[in-house]
Amino acid sequence: QVQLVESGGGLVQAGDSLRLSCVVSGRTFGSYIMGWFRQAPGKEREIVAAITPTGSTTYVVDSVKDRFTISRENAKNTVYLQMNSLKPEDTAVYYCSKKASGFSLRSTSGYTSWGQGTRVTVSS
């Protein structure tokens, strides 16, 4: 059973930066597309960013693409989400997940095995 553990969330002020990390157990991390999602209070979970197994291609949703960056270190079984210029509307629980490489990078289909999430709260 693959386990995903997110960390790096916290309470910050608008304009601050955070880097979220997600460590994945097992030996097959380098074969997965990895994605970051978020769920704000009262809203559905939405995809934020995704990255191919080698890290050569990334996808970041338009609403945050000028502020957020996804990256990965396969040697450390870790995917990151760098979040800059945070806004109150970025407040949410952030989750990472994985899917097989055959799926579309932009699609939310195929994701399995979710972490417990890390909470990000941005005050104005």
User: pLDDT tens-digit profile of 96-106?
Assistant: 999 999 899 99
Three-state DSSP state, 74: helix
Q: In what order do the strands lie in the sheet with 18-24?
A: 4-7, 18-24, 78-83, 68-73
Q: What is the pLDDT of residues 32-65, one digit of tens each?
A: 999 999 999 999 999 999 999 999 999 999 999 9
Does residue 1 have a pLDDT over 90? no
Torsion angle of the four alpha carbons 6, 70, 68, 12, in this order, in degrees rounded to the nearest 10: 20
Integer CA distances (angstroms), 99 to 12, 35, 46, 69, 83, in order? 30, 8, 16, 19, 22
The answer to whether 36 and 48 have CB atoms below 8 angstroms apart is: yes
* Percentage of residues in the chain having pLDDT higher than 70: 100
